[in-house]
Structures are given as C-alpha cells and as structure tokens.
Structure 1
C-alpha cells in the first residue's frame, strides 16, 4: 500500500512523482491526492491508465483525487467534462467524478477528477460547475469562480456539505439575482456547524449573502474574516438592521484593511 498527498500545486510530476510511481510494480493499493500544475493537457483516465495503472499489474484498488491546472493561452481545443468522463470507460464499474472549468481572466483551465466516495476532509476550488453529491466527511471548502455565485448555488453547497466548519469564498463578480432587506423571495440557508468564514477577496454581494438574515442564518460563535471596507459598506457602519442578527453571532472578527502606502512616501 502506498499513499501520496501533496496539498500544494506541484510542477514536478513528470520528473519526480511519475517515474517513482512506475517503479512500484508490486503495489496492490494506491492512493493519490494531488494538485498538478501542467502545461498542455489535463490528467484524465487515459493518462492514469497509460502512466500509472499499466505499470502496476497487481494493483486492485486505486483511490485518487487529482486536480490538474493548465494554461489555455495557446490551446486550440479545450476538452469538455464529457471528454474527461469518456476517458474513464476502461475503469469499468468504478464511479469516477470529474469537473472541468476554464477561467479566461487567469488564462487557465482546471480539471478535478476523483474516485467516489470522496474521502478527504477538504474540497478546494469549487465552482458553479460543482457536481451534485453528498460529502459528509468534508469540513473545509474553498469556493472560487469568475462567474457569480447566486443564492441557489449556496443552497446546493449547504446541502452537499452538511458538516461544513470552514468556508472560504473568492469571487469578485456581482450576483445577478438581487434582493433587498425585506425581500423574502430567497429561502434562508443554514450552516449549523460553520465556525470560520473567510470573505477576503469578494464582491460586496457575498458579504450580504452571509450577513443578511433574509438570506443566511449563521450559527453562534463564528469567526469572521473580511475586508474592513466591505464590512463598513455592507453593514452601513454597523447600523443596518438586516445585518444585526448575523453580525451579533460573530465571536471573533479579523479585519483586513487596504493601506494606501502612497501617502507615506
């Protein structure tokens, strides 16, 4: 049995990790948890079959969770999620989940593949293309996209991760579906186990998403991390009635403030 976990993105898979795996010809069980910064192609079923499985004739159990990131600058063909799913045909009855995203602003693509059921306690870089599922083991997630996260997306997140404790959101795009303080159109979302909420690189709409009591019911004793200016705008200097209830549940507040260094020069 061999297990390899690399939390940070690695760019030495072909030079270091791959060749060492291919030497383990007697391996019977393998677990890989990797984020790979690649040049031109996603890691898919064909790649795993050719470069890993074919070198391990005794392998009878393969658990994996792999995120590969590529530059899309000079690519003429961008694989779809259906393309990635078809690459796992030779994996038989094993359930494999895939999710493909492209981020034009950053000029990168991301492909996340994993064997189901999901076994990690964290799930990173979740986008609007997040596949349905139930992830009881996951305690920590990160949300990122260049498209806005709407209220319905957060409903899906709350349902998929019922024991979520730590949530980070990175999204600078404004929501398209708005509501005012008195609008009851949206169902109120609950995160009963949420303890830490990171709202540092966000549009103001996502601060409203979690601080307005018409959208979200936060648990007590939460640790909130966010930008000072965003907090001031969204809570109207802590005078906005619709944010009072959720803000009162914040036990610890970590504020980040952008400093204008030019005035000190």
Structure 2
C-alpha cells in the first residue's frame, strides 16, 4: 500500500495464562518502529486470562470492551471521549461510585453500557440523592453483577434516554420490591426489558413496574450479542 498515509487501528488480544510484560517495554517496541503515535494497555485478571490493547492516537474508535479499573479511561487528553459503547469487566476490584461518575464525565457520547462485576462496592454512597446522569445512554446491560451496581446505575442515576434494559432476574425482582422512584422513572421509557432467564410467573409484577409489553426473555443468540 504505497499510497497509505495514515493507518488508524485498535487491536485487542486475549491470552490465557499470559506471562507478565512491562508496559514500558511494549511501548518502546512501537516507538522504535512507528512514525505515528501509538499507545497500549496490558491487563491481567483473576480468571487466568489477560488482554493487551494496542491503539493508534488520536483514538477514533467507538467501542471499548472488557475495561477494568486499571484501564487509563480518564486521561487528561480525553482520548476516549468519542466512545459510544462500553463494556466494563473486573474480577479483581469493584467499580466504586466515583468510577461511574468519572465515566459519565469522560464519555459524554456513551450510548451503551454493560457491566460484569460480582464484587461488592466497598465505598457505599451514604446519600439517596440522584446526582449522576448518563444523558445519552439508550442501553444498559447488567448481567453477572453485584446488586450494588443495579442500585447505583438504575436506582440512583438519571437515564432520560434509556429504551433497552437487560438485567439478572433476581436483581430485577429485588429492585422492584424496593419500589425506587428513580428506578420507576428510568423504566418508564424502556421499550425492551430483557432478563437472563424467563420471569413469566412475575409478569404481573413486571407490568406494574415497566411499560406494558416491554418484557422479553433473551434468546441464547441475544445473550451472546450482549456479551
């Protein structure tokens, strides 16, 4: 490709039982061979997997998958401000309340947010005020999570554009029994409410909480797409 002047890329590799590599060593290998700006992130998880993400700068991608607390999402250059789809995963640290506040500020274009984290938050919010907002979020996916994330993102966060909501069955029923005003408001505009397993025995309860006919049981194909 002799006429190629610029090449934008974002490469994500997943490795099982990876050996630990110093991030500066990896960065230096690109500095020696690349004329354009490149950065990279290495992350290791407790599930014996690790991942390496290498991307050109400026970052023009719109999707980030399996982002942990250790990913430099909040740098001073607003590198990832154009991201519209974000999947959060961490099996080492919980996502604390201030983490989501920073996400809402750093990613103003965010449309889809998914969370995978079964760890309980350690820094509980003492107030019941709803001062967090994702102004453009249309899809929220909360599977394989601790109840804390549903409380924060659905019961204490303003989601004015939410139209699709997918959540673990038991956690959804716990939210409904708590009868949270903000949760009801967020659900009032939802067009599709999906659960991991069927909740047909609780359809009457669901209809009192969400708009009529919004509930669907996700198919296996849908589950794969949302993960």
TM-score range, shorter chain: 0.7 to 0.9
Give CA-to-partner distance per residue, 1:168-221, whole Å, 9 cap, x none.
Answer: 1111111111124x455xx822211111111112111111121222xx211144
Counterpart check, 1:202 vs 2:148: no
Residue 177 of structure 2 aligns to a residue whose secondary structure is coil
Residue 7 of structure 2 aligns to a residue whose secondary structure is strand
Mark the CA change 1:190 to 1:93 in structure 2 (over 3 Å): closer, same or farther.
farther
The residue number in structure 2 matching 1:109 is 50
Q: 1:63-78 counterparts in 2 under 5 A?
A: 63-72=8-17, 75=19, 78=20
User: Which of 148, 170, 174 pairs up with 2:120?
Assistant: 174
The residue number in structure 1 matching 2:62 is 121
Mark the CA change 1:221 to 1:144 in structure 2 (over 3 Å): closer, same or farther.
closer
Q: Which runs of 5+ in 2 are unaligned?
A: 200-227
How far apart, CA to CA, are the structure 2 residues paired with 1:27 and 1:203? 52
Mark the CA change 1:87 to 1:156 in structure 2 (over 3 Å): closer, same or farther.
farther
TM-fit CA distance, 1:72: 2.0
TM-fit CA distance, 1:103: 0.8
Q: 1:201-240 counterparts in 2 under 5 A?
A: 201-213=144-156, 216-233=157-174, 235=175, 237-240=177-180
User: Which of 102, 127, 134 pairs up with 1:191?
Assistant: 134
Counterpart check, 1:138 vs 2:106: no
Counterpart check, 1:80 vs 2:22: yes
Give CA-to-partner distance per residue, 1:28-78, whole Å, 9 cap, x none.
Answer: 43xxxxxxxxxxxxxxxxxxxxxxxxxxxxxx43322111222226x4xx1
TM-fit CA distance, 1:257: 2.5
Q: 1:89-108 counterparts in 2 under 5 A?
A: 89-91=31-33, 94-104=36-46, 106-108=47-49
**C-alpha root-mean-square deviation of aligned residues, in Å?**
2.5
Give CA-to-partner distance per residue, 1:137-182, whole Å, 9 cap, x none.
Answer: 32212111112111222122222221111111111111111124x4
How far apart, CA to CA, are the structure 2 residues paired with 1:219 and 1:190? 8
TM-fit CA distance, 1:241: 4.6
Larger C-alpha radius of gyration, 1 or 2?
A: 1
Give the structure-2-normalised TM-score. 0.74
Counterpart check, 1:257 vs 2:197: yes
Q: Which runs of 5+ in 1 are unaligned?
A: 1-25, 30-59, 260-265
Give the structure-1-normalised TM-score. 0.65
